[in-house]
Amino acid sequence: MTKRIIHWFRRDLRLDDNTALLTAYATAEEVVPVFIVDDAILRRPDTASNRVAFLLESLHDLDGNLRSRGSRLVLRRGQPEEVLAQLVAETGAAGVYFNRDVEPFALARDARVATRLEGQCAVVSFEDGGLTAPDSVKTKTGTPYTVFTPYKKAVLPQSVAHPRPAPTQLRTPADVLGEPLPTLADLGFATAATLPPGGETAAQARLSDFIRNGLEHYASARDRLAEEGTSRLSPYLRFGCLSPRRAYWAAREAFSNGSPGLEGWISELVWRDFYRQILFHFPYVEGGAFKRAYDELAWENRPEWFECWCEGKTGFPVVDAAMRQLLTTGWMHNRARMIVASFLTKDLLIDWRWGERHFMQHLVDGDLAANNGGWQWAASTGTDAQPYFRIFNPIAQGKKFDPTGAYVRRYVPELSAVPDRWIHEPLLMSTDLQRAFRCIIGVDYPSPVVDHGHQRIKALAMFSRLTTNQP
């Protein structure tokens, strides 16, 4: 048996069903669990204070879980390739094990690590981040799937590996030193958002609650904006506090005879894998349209409209509620994400990349693959097979998915006294009614920044011009 292996934690902040960690545990007499604070990531313009806060809480939880098994988290700070080279020299480790990340930044970083450690120790990566590996599902001609439904049909017949339990004990050399876990302020960040608790312990509790109380009604409740119909597991999956295979099998075993809620939940896990493999095979989507011709769209990009959208002051209640939910909680309901993304791109005619960046600067579950995929879906520049003329009417969406206005009233207090009849169209109230319900449009609550019908025509023309001009 190998004497020592370093397990490098990244987006796998858990002990349960952690492929690289469990392999190291089975291979080596001692495992050195390390997390590296990488200033290159902290300095990225799309790094969110909310995610850093969630990360730090997850690291505290991880350290506690390691200590309960006789180990501890070794925290270092610096360039990963240099930190790991130093740690290998200190420990005499025979290898560095980690779970693969499909983001271009991570793949480039991992290549530097492999080059730096060549000849010093083995560098081994493992597939762990999804139900399936991003390069394991191909069409009959050997190409990646670029439309979700055929991809899902190809994935579902495949067997998903059963999750493996956390090790009962981990042996870590006592003389390997690490730095204290920093605070959010130590790293130069601050947040006032109300965030979910980070870490594997909270993830397991949240999963259990969802399986017990939410999964059965997931299909019918997940689009209702005012209800807790979604799983709220996305931050834990994003940081690897929860294994996607554990989430999959917990649901399968709880509803072994099947249910609409189960199938809907499995579809969401498959969507997550789909966008991972899109990013893996088509890394150019990080900065441009999947359908490359749409990089030439003539977005209007009016900064004043973008500011109204960011602040939740567009005059469209469901849009404003969603944007304020993001600012106050670091999270947004999935249906609301689609509504505000369609509004930004198809009503305000603002480049989807502006919205994508804003989301990444606030979302606690901000994930490049999923966020990019969602934004390109809304903007009609991505993998979706539907044509560009799918444009959400924000008023109709509000009425359909928040019929009583409870979601709007929760995040837009200016409208709290407005009756259901006008909650999504307060502009239709007479001046006397506006006074009666303490909501003067243009004073207490903004007038709509645009006319949806007019902007819809402009959006269709913008896409049509580009499509018509294609050779």
Question: Which 3 state secondary structure label does DSSP give 7?
Answer: strand
Is residue 114 predicted with pLDDT exceeding 60? yes
Mean pLDDT confidence for 70-77: 98
Q: How far is CA 203 from CA 62, 239, 414, 431, in A?
A: 12, 10, 35, 49
Q: Round to whole Å and give the CA distance between 398 and 405.
A: 8
34-43, 382-391, 435-444: which range is least confident on average? 382-391
Label each residue of 44-63 as H, E or C. Answer: CCCCCHHHHHHHHHHHHHHH
State the Cα–Cα distance between residues 410 and 147, nearest whole angstrom: 36
The mean pLDDT value of the chain amounts to 96
**Residue 140 CB: number of other CB atoms within 10 A?**
6
- The backbone region for 17, taken as left when phi is positive above 0, alpha when psi lies in -120 to 50, beta otherwise, is left
Cα–Cα dist 130/277, whole Å: 10
Within 92-225, residue ranges assigned H as helices are: 104-116, 148-155, 200-213, 218-221
Residue keyed to tokens 């191909």: 138
Report phi then psi at 318, rounded to 5.
-70, -35
Q: Which CATH number fits domain 2-128: 3.40.50.720, 3.40.50.620, 3.90.550.10, 1.10.760.10?
A: 3.40.50.620
Identical fold, 129-160+201-281 and 292-469: no
62, 87, 94, 257, 346 from 252: Cα distances, Å: 27, 41, 39, 8, 38
Q: Please say if the pLDDT value at position 364 is more than 50.
A: yes
* Predicted pLDDT of residue 470: 52
Rounded Cα distance between 95 and 30, Å, is 11
* CA–CA gap between residue 414 and residue 434 (Å, rounded): 11
d(CA 225, CA 443): 26
* Residue type (1 letter), 87: L
* Cα separation, 14 vs 21, whole angstroms: 9
Q: Kindly give the pairing relationship between strand 2-9 and strand 95-99.
A: parallel
pLDDT at position 471 is 42
pLDDT for res 299: 98
Query: Mind giving me the DSSP string for 134-146?
Result: TTS-B-TTSPBP-
In terms of Cα–Cα distance, which of 370, 364, 348, 347 is closest to 356? 370
In CATH, what number does 292-469 get?
A: 1.10.579.10
User: Which three-class secondary structure state does DSSP give residue 122?
Assistant: strand
pLDDT in tens, 392-418: 999 999 999 999 999 999 999 999 999
Comparing C-alpha atoms, which of 49, 42, 57, 68 is closest to residue 181?
57
Residue at token pair 């259990």: 208
Structure tokens, 397: 């969406």
Residues catalogued as catalytic: 268, 271, 299, 334, 352, 375
> How much of the chain, in percent, has pLDDT values that exceed 70?
99
Segment 79-106, tens digit of pLDDT: 999 999 999 999 999 999 999 999 999 9
Q: Of all helices (H) and strands (E), which one includes residue 6?
A: strand 2-9
Q: Which candidate, 137, 423, 70, places its Cα nearest to that of 281?
A: 137
Q: Phi, psi at residue 158, to the nearest 5°?
A: -75, 150
pLDDT, tens digit (0-9, with 9 covering 90-100), for 294-303: 999 999 999 9
On whether the pTM is more than 0.75, the answer is: yes
Contact (Cβ atoms closer than 8 angstroms) between residue 8 and residue 31: no
Here the tokens at position 236 are: 């834990």
- pLDDT, tens digit (0-9, with 9 covering 90-100), for 171-205: 999 999 999 999 999 999 999 999 999 999 999 99
Query: In this model, does residue 469 exceed pLDDT 70?
Result: no
- Give the residue extent of every domain in the chain: 2-128, 129-160+201-281, 292-469
For 181-193, give one letter per residue: b (16+ CB within 10 A) or e.
Answer: bbeeeebebebeb
Sequence-distant (6+) residues with CB within 8 A of 463 are 297, 380, 388, 389
Q: Where are the beta strands (DSSP E) in 185-265?
A: none
Which residues does 447 contact at the CB level (< 8 Å), separation at least 6?
315, 427, 441
Q: Are strands 28-37 and 2-9 parallel, antiparallel or unpaired?
A: parallel
What is the model's pLDDT at position 435? 96
Digit-coded pLDDT (tens) for 247-293: 999 999 999 888 889 999 999 999 999 999 999 999 999 999 999 99
What pLDDT shows up at residue 157? Answer: 86
CA distance 226 to 146: 33
- Architecture per CATH, domain 129-160+201-281, reads as Alpha Horseshoe (1.25)
Which pLDDT score, from 0 to 100, does residue 387 have? 72
